[in-house]
A = this chain, B = another copy of it.
């Protein structure tokens, strides 16, 4: 990809370089994605106290590049959360309420950082739009479940969201195994069905 040639004279070394013009938008986009992936991995592994420098290292870019794409560390964390919420919305479209619960809880550990951030761990991040989208999606699942008689009519969206958030955090921090997760969700599902 390099078009350089090198010439040496008495005292100096000269290099002939093909100047390719400004890096393409595509490169920048790729960098942005690599940084986000690296950040998700690093923060999941070491917590949000991990250094931005470590994120840059894992992403294979210089620290300045991280700050060009995300002007502050909080911006970077917010971006991770936004991506998680978008994924959840998308997944809500492919599941019924119970399956969505199960799937989401199972993924909680993998999405450690985002779940923590959702929980508001110190970092000041507000993503009302993204959260509203998720709430809408879950609302639809709840309506469907109630229409099918699988959930009691007395149940409302706020407590479903509250339960979802709670169990995600519980699973994440409690280090639940599959069995414990199943038994815990069973209690909640049973509660949603009974009056």
A residues neighboring B (CB under 8 Å): 3, 6, 12-20, 46-49, 116, 118-122, 155-156, 158-159, 162-163, 165-167, 169-171, 173-174, 176, 180, 183-184, 186-195
A122 to B3, CA, bound (A): 47
Instruction: With CB as the reference atom, state the residue of chain B lying closest to A20.
Output: B12
Q: Among the listed B6, B46, B191, which residue makes an inter-chain contact with A194, where contact means beta carbons less than 8 Å apart? A: B191
Find chain B residues with CB under 8 A from A193 CB. Answer: 194
A46 to B159, CA, bound (A): 27
Q: Among the listed B162, B186, B189, which residue makes an inter-chain contact with A170, where contact means beta carbons less than 8 Å apart? A: B162
Tell me if B119 and A169 are in contact (CB < 8 A): yes
Find chain B residues with CB under 8 A from A46 CB. Answer: 122
Find chain B residues with CB under 8 A from A187 CB. Answer: 155, 159, 163, 188, 191-192
Find chain B residues with CB under 8 A from A163 CB. Answer: 170, 184, 187-188
A37 to B14, CA, bound (A): 33
Instruction: With CB as the reference atom, state the residue of chain B lying closest to A47.
Output: B122
Q: Among the listed B16, B166, B180, B194, which residue makes an inter-chain contact with A190, where contact means beta carbons less than 8 Å apart? A: B194
Find chain B residues with CB under 8 A from A18 CB. Answer: 12-14
Find chain B residues with CB under 8 A from A169 CB. Answer: 119, 166, 169-170, 173
Find chain B residues with CB under 8 A from A17 CB. Answer: 14-17
Tell me if B190 and A162 are in contact (CB < 8 A): no
Q: Which of A12, A156, A171, A188: most chain B Cβ within 10 A?
A: A188
Q: Among the listed B16, B121, B159, which residue makes an inter-chain contact with A14, where contact means beta carbons less than 8 Å apart? A: B16
Q: Among the listed B19, B120, B180, B189, which residue makes an inter-chain contact with A191, where contact means beta carbons less than 8 Å apart? A: B189
